[in-house]
Structure 1
Amino acid sequence: MRMFIWRFCKNNIPVSTLRWSKGVQIPLNCPMCSRDIENVLHLFFECDYARSCWQRTELVFDMRGVEYAADWLLEKLDSESDDRVINITKVLSWIWFARNKKVWEEKLIGSSMSVDMSSRQINSWQVANRNAKRVKPQLGQVVSSVINWKPPDRGWLKLNVDASVKKGDSNFAIGMVIRNEDGNFIMGKNLRIAGCVNVLEVEAYGVWVAIKWIEELQLKNVTVESDSSLVVQALQQGSEYLV
């Protein structure tokens, strides 16, 4: 949740206009209403879907004269009470969630359902934060996080692909994310495919799907990265085992 708000304030939410400015040729129309170009101000405030979401709260804002949504949110974070900030965050996050459902899964979620889902998500986030504050490291304990992702070379994109399969399931999932050299999100995709396969097979299939997706998008200078060392090694050695 903090990352979403940080990206919003940095004007780095990957709406269509932002992705277009980075060289991704996609339709610019708002996926929620198809009536206007999708920029941050339109998607979160001017779109009919967004207005319906805001109307389900007690929050009323006059957006006339607002040019930059990021500046507007920064001002609200500084001037509004904690409860109102949480509610503002709730509305923004459920609009973004519903928008992504529409874009990536072609599912339109009603504003009332989006409100309920976002409320549960934020409540869970608040509980997790409170619990985290109660847990203190023991003397000598080191708490750290390791980030292994490395940016691609200048002018290149990196596609990270991962796959998930559970023993006994009759289907598996594949997730893909494309970022640029600055680590900015360009686009993503997830699939659920029917079939009984093992972990190695699904990881290999994920790489194949990623390559096909790059071809469909007609992208150039893209590095595909998988966390399966066995698949990467087999591909580098030209192994026929994976075919």
Structure 2
Amino acid sequence: MCNDPPEDLQHLFLDCPFARAIWRNTAWPINVSVFSNLPIAEWSKAIINPSSHLGIPSDQVWEFQISALVTMDCSWLARNKLIHNGSVPDPVSCLKSISSMVKAHLKAWLDSAFVPEAWSPPPLGFLKANFDVAIRPLFSVAAVVLNDHTGLIVAVCTKKLPHLDATVGEANAALLAVSFAADFGCSSILLEGDSQLCILAINKDHLFSDWLCAPMIADIHLHLLLFS
């Protein structure tokens, strides 16, 4: 963006005159030149712990981190627009974008006021089967945890699968959960997962007869016949 030295991450985010102008004019003016001769990892550490590295007050750390990440994202976007579209970046426009995006992020976080429900054990006589899937570039892994009414983990199960779409992976994990619980010998289960679509399909399978995961949902219902 400055047509000077070869570009790397250090130059793009810290050494480029464009980057330094941006950092000096955000809500937290920072002289990033002090990081010029340090590995880029030191800048990452400064964002993670800005109070000790940059002197950011503890009550402003979260807002600063949002601002820093948005600033880096906008710098990367400006660089891509220049390379792929020939669009010369304007620091003033970039700063306006950063300001509006930071406000939007902060508002979204505050508006959500998300407080996750605490995990609760199942009733006496039940086992709770929690399932999930992790998607990796070359494969997926389904996992199941069985807990009793005291919250004690009584059994766990994992299964390596091919690389899958996340929703298909969740359905595979749910199928693993009911089959594993049946093999374990419990008579009553609560099935719990974090895929709303998958749970909805199990509860209202007649609405998902044409869905890609319909055969797996049908298998889940066959296994559920084994429980009281």
| TM-score exceeds 0.5 | no
The TM-score normalised by the length of structure 2 is 0.41
The TM-score normalised by the length of structure 1 is 0.39
Greater helix share, structure number: 2
Rg (Cα) greater in structure: 2
